[in-house]
């Protein structure tokens, strides 16, 4: 039986980012990935590197997000160099469009609160319509666009190219990656763990479970209780268009190829990856209010993904009390946090312990209610 | 590239405009068929590398014959010709704003 | 939209028309939704318009179409042409666009009769203007009635290239030559199935007579053609090919027609979540259907070549069987009646399909179709080469969907119709798996592009039928 320093369960954005960080530090890393048609949240990630609206009431999360966003540029440089793949990273700011005064005031309020909470970090700027038009002179904004909140340090990346780059880098650095080899059991043994898939069995000193919605069942095997629920998000993508939107926006961004992706839904439908015309209509309505010229653009494809949601929406980073080498993590902002995952988190896991700064993210914060 | 089987019979009773040039056509025939009778049967240039493409399958499943037809990017092979139809070849990614201002 | 029908049929070829007329016989309200401007599907395309025009030269199999189309017109089924379906939700609600107007209709049962498509034949230069499918040329022959203006070369395998060349001759077209890509060993492999095929008699003899006609009419013919490479800037100018025992040749041409058999159109049946299985003989996926053509999606039937390649006669029969199945499921027919009506149809279907094993073996595509050279564009829409796909096929053994997300292959407007099988084959051979194991792209709506404006303006009013 092959033995590794660390086995990472899951090669989506989260697992792959941590594994990428690990291969640069540790000798033998194996990443085991599920099947082509599993629920793969990474395939429905929107691609935003964002701070807006994140962590109000949970300063640790705001801080974590800020930190990761600040490290993204370096992370991108290292990753591109190692993998030879350009993930189409841009960090020139990100927007949240407001289509009336109420939306504007709400965003403004949240932005100000976040600023206060972080001790005055100037991360956001509210732009009225005139400001917005000055910022985006070649963007044909619709008359309903009242203004926007600009996240000064935000950006975007192509999620699938990012994942490809991570996987390529893992391989180039001597890590191993096996797809279509979903993990069924994780057994703690004397000096580590035995991980079993349908086809094979492997040994490791430590195990990191980053299997998206599948994390709950696997983490339970190492005495970690990770409560997760799926939340469906649907995405529309148009034909390629000449550049009209130079900055990404919440729910609306133009990719490097020119196609425009639109994603505004949050649905509780269980593990259902179906798409609905209703959602397509709702999303088209909002998108064409922001950019009326999209009325003439063709929708080429609609798909859905299941966000990995924790009960409060904030990430879970956990280390098993009993089996110190077992870690589990879950979040739905895998892109924004990728720099952190590949950097500090990978180092910590390599060293064998989660840092105290991650204590607020332990799932014990949910267990209180159970009494 | 193609020609009428019976060129001596004139079926052409309508005019369609391809990149501004009037072309005689038979009402109801597939627009892609009209295109193939022109000296330049190219339908578009690809958005990625600007390579010329012409109709390939004639049954709506290859999308090579996509042209801007009366303002909408559609397949010429499943579009029946009508009097006054405005058709534009697409070179590169679609520029909707430019088309709107031209109207 | 307010209108509801018992049965919506997608497509108006042999299967769609027959399903409609049969369903009407049993009192169902029927709506036929057709992407084309007139009934007939591909095989009988333009048959109403061509009455009195080019009929006779197009052959008897084409002319019989007019009776079917007339029967459809007289049946009381509502026929909606120029109408493109982009989504079907369970229940069923069918979302359509017709001349930039979007609306929906409701139907208790749906029969997909979208027919077949030609198998994609990727080779270097296949995206050049001037390279088309034989099917495309045949469609042009019917609507509006045009032929290549320069001598045409045809490369392929199967009955269709032979039929087209015969028809082209009758219309005064000029033929440069015929490249028969049928592998020599196919004949040996097909022979065991010949007795069963001969039971069907005339169909097969007809096919053989086309071959004979061609050979005796002095058309340059090359056998056992292996590789193709098209070249030219900006249009097709010449073709390099290998044939026989590894001989090579180059010919000049501006029009090349290719054909390597037909495969069921599975785009909609896959997009609607129906189960499919891999058919090794026909080298394609087919929907899993019961004896009525009912798929794994409740209330959804598949008839015609979309259920499995069988030809026009089989499509007619399958259409009728599906209509009876739909009627039974709506309690418009009693089970005993259903059995009585369907028994002769099943015997007829068996006879129609008797020659399939022979034809499947005889015209089994050559390997090169599935493993083209590295520089070949596999995804025409996104311009992805075989080399790129092979390289990424090795990063962790991805399936077709993971590969699609990495390379963008299958993300263009055709949504994998031209590259799905090739990608699956490349993955299978790079990773040492079977195609059935590898699978296919996950197909999603819209089934044809629809503008965001159309989406926001879906017509909610009563649809005049």
Which two tokens mark C306?
């979309």
d(Cα C457, Cα C435) in Å, to the nearest integer? 41
Kindly identify which residue of chain B lies nearest to residue C255, measuring between CA atoms. Answer: B1
Q: Please tell me the total number of residues recorded for chain B in this structure.
A: 103
**Touching A: which chains, 3+ CB pairs < 8 A?**
B, C
Secondary element (H or E) of residue A134 = helix A129-135
Kindly identify which residue of chain C lies nearest to residue B25, measuring between CA atoms. Answer: C144
d(Cα A326, Cα C358) in Å, to the nearest integer? 59
d(Cα B56, Cα B67) in Å, to the nearest integer? 14
Residue A37 and residue C444: Cβ atoms within 8 Å?
A: no
The yes/no answer to whether this complex scores an ipTM above 0.90 is yes
Pairing of strands C300-302, C101-112: parallel
pLDDT at C203: 62
d(Cα C120, Cα C117) in Å, to the nearest integer? 9
> Looking at the partner chain, which of A242, A293, A298 has a beta carbon nearest the beta carbon of B93?
A242
Confidence check: pLDDT of B12 > 90: no
Count interface pairs A-C at CB distance under 8 A: 107
Residue B97 and residue A298: Cβ atoms within 8 Å?
A: no
User: DSSP secondary structure string, B2-32?
Assistant: EEESSTTS----EEEEETTEEEEE-TTSBHH
* DSSP assignment letter at B39: S
Q: Where are the alpha helices (DSSP H) in A177-299?
A: 215-220, 277-290
Average pLDDT of the segment spanning C340-364? 92
Which two tokens mark C450?
């629809």
Which two tokens mark C236?
């097709």
Which two tokens mark A26?
């540790």
Preferred mutation among A296, A298, A300 to probe B, highest tally of B CBs within 10 A: A296
- Residues forming beta bridges with residue C294, ordered by sequence position: C301
Secondary element (H or E) of residue C450 = strand C450-451
Q: What is the nearest CA distance from C461 to chain A, expressed in angstroms?
A: 16
Average pLDDT of the segment spanning C48-58? 79
Q: What is the nearest CA distance from B46 to chain C, expressed in angstroms?
A: 8
Preferred mutation among C146, C149, C453 to probe B, highest tally of B CBs within 10 A: C146
d(Cα A91, Cα A69) in Å, to the nearest integer? 9
d(Cα A180, Cα C455) in Å, to the nearest integer? 37
pLDDT at C460: 58
**Chain C residues touching residue A257 (CB < 8 angstroms):** 408
Helix (H, G, I), strand (E, B) or coil at A49: strand
**Touching C: which chains, 3+ CB pairs < 8 A?**
A, B
Confidence check: pLDDT of C464 > 70: no
Write out the residues of chain A at the interface with chain C, using a CB-CB cutoff of 8 A: 11, 31, 33, 35-37, 40, 43, 160-161, 163-164, 167-168, 171, 177-180, 236-239, 257, 275-277, 280-281, 284-285, 287-288, 294-303
pLDDT at C202: 58
Q: What is the nearest CA distance from A115 to chain C, expressed in angstroms?
A: 37
Torsion-angle region of residue C299: left (phi > 0), alpha (psi -120 to 50) or beta?
Answer: left
Q: What pLDDT, in 10s, does the model give residues A7-22?
A: 999 999 999 999 999 9
Q: Is the C-alpha dihedral spanning A139, A145, A151, A155 positive or negative?
A: negative
Residue C95 and residue A277: Cβ atoms within 8 Å?
A: yes
Q: How far is the first Cα of chain B from the last one, in angstroms, to the nearest whole number?
A: 31
Q: What pLDDT, in 10s, does the model give residues A131-171?
A: 999 999 999 999 999 999 999 999 999 999 999 999 999 99
Helix (H, G, I), strand (E, B) or coil at C80: strand
Torsion-angle region of residue C59: left (phi > 0), alpha (psi -120 to 50) or beta?
Answer: left
pLDDT at C304: 97
CB A192, CB A204: distance < 8 Å: yes
Q: What pLDDT, in 10s, does the model give residues C7-38?
A: 999 999 999 999 999 999 999 999 999 999 99
**Chain A residues touching residue C89 (CB < 8 angstroms):** 276-277
Helix (H, G, I), strand (E, B) or coil at B53: strand
d(Cα C199, Cα C195) in Å, to the nearest integer? 7
Stretch among A310-324, C67-81, C386-400 having the lowest mean pLDDT: C386-400
Residue C136 and residue B52: Cβ atoms within 8 Å?
A: no
Residue A301 and residue C442: Cβ atoms within 8 Å?
A: no
d(Cα C127, Cα C231) in Å, to the nearest integer? 10
Q: Is the C-alpha dihedral spanning A140, A146, A147, A148 positive or negative?
A: negative
Which two tokens mark C234?
């900006």
Stretch among A124-128, A247-251, C207-211, C354-358 having the lowest mean pLDDT: C207-211
> Looking at the partner chain, which of C93, C449, C455 has a beta carbon nearest the beta carbon of A281?
C455
pLDDT at C193: 83
Kindly identify which residue of chain A lies nearest to residue B47, measuring between CA atoms. Answer: A240
Query: Which one, of A275, A287, B73, lies nearest residue C413 by Cα?
Result: B73
For residue C217, how many other CB atoms are within 10 A of its CB? 12
Residue A180 and residue C458: Cβ atoms within 8 Å?
A: no
**Chain C residues touching residue A33 (CB < 8 angstroms):** 396
Kindly identify which residue of chain A lies nearest to residue B71, measuring between CA atoms. Answer: A296
Average pLDDT of the segment spanning C1-11? 86
d(Cα A286, Cα A302) in Å, to the nearest integer? 16
Preferred mutation among C129, C133, C413 to probe B, highest tally of B CBs within 10 A: C129
Sorting pLDDT into bands at 50, 70 and 90, what band is C441? very high
Average pLDDT of the segment spanning C97-119? 94
Number of alpha helices (DSSP H) and beta strands (DSSP E) in chain A: 10, 17
Confidence check: pLDDT of C1 > 50: no
Q: Please tell me the total number of residues recorded for chain C in this structure.
A: 465
* Average pLDDT across chain C, whole number: 91
Secondary element (H or E) of residue A222 = none
For chain A, list residues with pLDDT below 70: 368-371
Count interface pairs A-B at CB distance under 8 A: 35
pLDDT at C158: 87
Confidence check: pLDDT of C66 > 80: yes
- Map tokens 């399903």 to a residue: C19
């Amino acid at each position: 039986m092959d033995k590794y320093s660390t086995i990472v369960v899951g090669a989506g954005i989260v697992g792959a980012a941590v594994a990428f960080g690990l291969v640069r530090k540790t000798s033998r890393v194996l990443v085991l990935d599920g099947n082509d048609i599993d629920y793969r949240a990474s395939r429905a990630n929107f691609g935003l590197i964002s701070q807006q609206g994140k962590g109000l009431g949970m300063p640790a999360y705001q801080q974590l997000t800020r930190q990761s966003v600040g490290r993204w540029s370096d992370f991108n440089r290292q990753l591109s160099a190692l993998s030879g793949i350009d993930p189409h990273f841009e960090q020139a700011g990100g927007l949240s469009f407001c289509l009336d005064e109420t939306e504007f005031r709400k965003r403004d309020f949240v932005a100000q609160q976040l600023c206060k909470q972080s001790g005055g970090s100037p991360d956001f700027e509210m732009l009225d319509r005139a400001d917005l038009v000055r910022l985006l002179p070649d963007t044909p904004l619709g008359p309903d666009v009242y203004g926007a909140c600009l996240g000064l340090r935000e950006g975007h990346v192509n999620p699938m190219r990012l994942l490809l780059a991570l996987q390529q880098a893992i391989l180039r650095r001597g890590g191993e990656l096996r797809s279509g080899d979903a993990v069924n059991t994780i057994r703690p043994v004397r000096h580590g763990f035995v991980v079993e898939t349908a086809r094979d069995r492997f040994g490791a000193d430590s195990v990191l479970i980053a299997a998206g919605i599948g994390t709950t069942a696997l983490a339970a095997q190492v005495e970690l209780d990770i409560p997760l629920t799926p939340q469906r998000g649907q995405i529309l993508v148009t034909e390629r268009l000449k550049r009209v939107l130079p900055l990404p926006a919440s729910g609306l961004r133009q990719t490097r190829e020119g196609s425009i992706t639109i994603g505004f839904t949050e649905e509780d439908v269980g593990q259902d990856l179906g798409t609905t015309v209703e959602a397509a209509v709702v999303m088209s309505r909002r998108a064409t209010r922001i950019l009326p010229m999209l009325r003439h653009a063709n929708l080429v494809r609609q798909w859905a993904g299941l966000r990995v949601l924790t009960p409060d929406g904030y990430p879970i980073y956990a280390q098993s009390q009993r089996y110190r080498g077992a870690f589990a993590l879950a979040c739905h902002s895998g892109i924004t946090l990728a720099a952190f995952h590949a950097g500090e988190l990978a180092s910590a896991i390599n060293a064998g312990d989660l840092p105290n700064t991650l204590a607020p993210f332990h799932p014990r914060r949910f267990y209180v209610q159970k009494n | 590239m193609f020609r009428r089987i019976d060129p001596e019979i004139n079926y052409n009773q309508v005019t369609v405009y391809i990149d501004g040039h009037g072309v005689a056509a038979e009402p109801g025939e597939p627009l892609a068929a009209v295109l193939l009778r022109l000296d330049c049967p190219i339908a578009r240039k690809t958005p990625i590398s600007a390579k010329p493409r012409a109709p390939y399958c004639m049954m709506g499943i290859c999308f090579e014959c996509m042209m801007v037809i009366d303002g909408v990017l559609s397949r010429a092979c499943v579009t029946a010709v009508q009097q006054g139809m405005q058709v534009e070849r697409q070179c590169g990614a679609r520029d909707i704003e430019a088309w709107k201002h031209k109207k | 939209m307010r209108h509801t029908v018992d049965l919506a049929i997608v497509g108006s070829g042999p299967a769609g028309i027959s399903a409609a007329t049969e369903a009407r016989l049993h009192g169902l309200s029927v709506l036929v939704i057709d992407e084309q401007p007139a009934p007939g599907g591909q095989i009988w395309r333009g048959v109403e318009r061509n009455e009195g025009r080019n009929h006779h030269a197009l052959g008897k199999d084409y002319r019989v179409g007019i009776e079917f189309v007339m029967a459809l017109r007289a049946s009381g089924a509502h026929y909606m042409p120029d109408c493109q379906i982009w989504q079907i939700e369970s229940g069923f609600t069918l979302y359509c666009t017709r001349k930039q107007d979007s609306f929906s209709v409701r139907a208790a049962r749906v029969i997909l009769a979208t027919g077949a498509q030609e198998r994609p034949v990727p080779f270097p230069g296949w995206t050049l203007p001037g390279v088309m499918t034989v099917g495309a040329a045949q469609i042009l022959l019917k609507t509006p009635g045009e032929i290549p203006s320069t001598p045409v070369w045809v490369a392929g395998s199967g009955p269709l290239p032979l039929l087209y060349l015969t028809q082209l001759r009758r219309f005064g077209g000029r033929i440069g030559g015929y490249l028969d890509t049928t592998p020599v060993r196919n004949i040996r492999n097909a022979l065991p199935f010949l007795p069963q095929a001969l039971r069907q008699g005339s169909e097969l003899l007809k096919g053989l007579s086309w071959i004979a006609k061609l050979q005796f009419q002095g058309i340059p013919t090359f056998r056992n053609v292996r590789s193709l490479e098209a070249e030219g800037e900006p249009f097709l100018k010449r073709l390099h090919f290998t044939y026989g025992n590894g001989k090579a040749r180059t010919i000049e041409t501006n029009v090349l027609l290719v054909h390597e058999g037909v495969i069921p159109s599975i785009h909609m049946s896959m997009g609607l979540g129906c189960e499919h299985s891999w058919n090794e003989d026909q080298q394609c996926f087919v929907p899993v259907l019961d004896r009525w053509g009912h798929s794994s999606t409740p209330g959804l039937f598949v008839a015609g070549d979309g259920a499995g390649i069988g030809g026009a006669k089989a499509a007619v029969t399958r259409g009728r069987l599906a209509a009876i199945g739909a009627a039974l499921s709506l309690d418009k027919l009693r089970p005993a009646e259903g059995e009585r009506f369907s028994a002769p149809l099943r015997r007829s279907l068996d006879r129609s399909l008797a020659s399939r094993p022979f034809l499947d073996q005889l015209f089994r595509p050559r390997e090169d179709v599935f493993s083209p050279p590295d520089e070949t564009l596999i995804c025409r829409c996104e311009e992805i080469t075989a080399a790129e796909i092979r390289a990424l096929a090795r990063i962790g053994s991805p399936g077709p969907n993971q590969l699609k997300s990495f390379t963008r292959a299958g993300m263009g407007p055709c949504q994998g119709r031209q590259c799905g099988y090739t990608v699956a084959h490349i993955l299978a051979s790079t990773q040492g798996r079977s195609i059935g194991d590898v699978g296919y792209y996950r197909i999603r709506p819209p089934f044809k592009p629809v503008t965001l404006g159309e989406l926001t303006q879906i017509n909610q009013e009563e649809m005049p039928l």
